[in-house]
Amino acid sequence: MSHLNTELATAMLNHESLDEFFRAHLEEAMNNLLKSELTDFLGYEKHSAQGYGSGNSRNGYYQRELDTRYGKLHLLITRDRQGRFDQ
């Protein structure tokens, strides 16, 4: 059984809210996707030596909320120094 299946089974056995379970996992997946998109855009991993002197780098994030059927997702929208990255 996969890690997600194990967590889901545990949540169900503990009578936890499935909406909250899916909301939390969707939020984590979306934030990881945003980080991966920026990594792909820049062409190097976070903290990689390739980024030094590249002319563009990570520049933190700003927060946004997205309403879904499972509840509000708190997203960390990544950005680059030159402002060219578009999610």
Kindly state the average pLDDT of the residues 1-9. 81
The yes-or-no verdict on residue 1 having pLDDT over 70 is no
Q: How high does pLDDT run on average in the chain? A: 90
Give pLDDT, residue 26. 95
- Residues 20 and 69 sit within 8 Å (Cβ to Cβ): no
| pLDDT at residue 44 greater than cutoff 90 | no
Which pLDDT band, with edges at 50, 70 and 90, does 76 fall under? very high
pLDDT higher at 55 or 25? 25
The whole-number pLDDT of residue 50 equals 79
